Amino acid sequence: MTGNTESGYAPVNGLEMYYEVRGEGEPVVVLHGAYMTVDSMDGIVRELAKSRKAIAVELQGHGRTANVDRPLSYEQMADDVAALIGHLGMEKVDVFGFSMGGGVAVQLAIRHAEMIREMVVASVSYTHDGMHPEMIEMVPSITPEMFAGSPMEEEYRRLAPNPDDFPILVEKLKQLDMEPFAWPEEDIRGIAAPALLIAGDSDVVRLEHVVEFFRLLGGGVMGDLAGMPASRLAVLPATSHFIPPGSGVMDRIGWFMPMIEDFLDEPDEGARADG
């Protein structure tokens, strides 16, 4: 916690959910990826907080938010974040989500549409097979020992209320990633919030899937004739999901932050072009 950051715990849905608030202005909720924390998202939070009120959240079992006796699911995590938004007395927010946090943001826009003004989601799919097959095949082999000495394990042990629960988090995230899902296309089409989709060209999510996601949101049209859609797509070159260090999506904040600012500053008026 630095500068003018406020922090606290919100009692939501049986959790004591940790959050930090930084900056002033229109509120934007920041949702981290799997194994990550508020600290991991510091770069994007600092940038957003220059012109907005950035609310960074730690989801169930991550960081300072202790685990509870229930599986991890995108739907439940979205409900938890919605409850936090209500707890903080906010009616409508923008949201930024990376990877798992992007999935949570999408479910927020589906399940709590009245709360979401615009969303920015990076490295996210709306179906299980939207990820590369190699990723799906690799997940069952993940063990807590694979994280030994890693920054993710170190950060968990430093911040978590119960540092020895790291193997429980690994198992729950494995189950989340192994559980096949396919959110209905009509739910995606029905998302009212304009979206900025961001993906690396060598990301964990297949580019074909990202483009189809964009089409379902009204994108992929000939703007000259159909008008510009409310949603946008950005594909970052030479960019992976996380590895090697320096090449992941969240290493490209300097590239995509101007796109986010331009997108979030867009006036609310205007209907999405038909795709």
The full set of domain ranges for the chain reads 6-264
Beta pairing, strands 93-98 & 195-202: unpaired
The pLDDT of 172-197, averaged and rounded, is 97
Q: Which pLDDT tens digit goes with each residue over 76-135?
A: 999 999 999 999 999 999 999 999 999 999 999 999 999 999 999 999 999 999 999 999
Alpha helices per DSSP H over the chain: 42-48, 74-87, 100-111, 133-138, 151-159, 166-178, 185-189, 207-216, 223-226, 253-264
Q: For residues 78 and 111, give the distance between their C-alpha atoms in angstroms, rounded to a whole number.
A: 8
Q: For residues 110 and 190, give the distance between their C-alpha atoms in angstroms, rounded to a whole number.
A: 8
Q: Which among 56, 65, 27, 191 is positioned nearest to 124, based on CA atoms?
A: 191
Q: Which among 210, 215, 186, 216 is positioned nearest to 197, based on CA atoms?
A: 210
The predicted pLDDT at position 5 comes to 87
Enter the pTM of the model. 0.95
Residue 127 backbone phi and psi in degrees, to 5: -140, 155
The predicted pLDDT at position 266 comes to 85
The predicted pLDDT at position 233 comes to 98
What's the angle, vertex CA 173, arms to CA 169 and CA 177, rounded to 5?
170
Q: For residues 205 and 124, give the distance between their C-alpha atoms in angstroms, rounded to a whole number.
A: 7
Instruction: Answer yes or no: is pLDDT of 274 > 50.
Output: no
The predicted pLDDT at position 268 comes to 60
Q: What is the CATH number of domain 6-264?
A: 3.40.50.1820
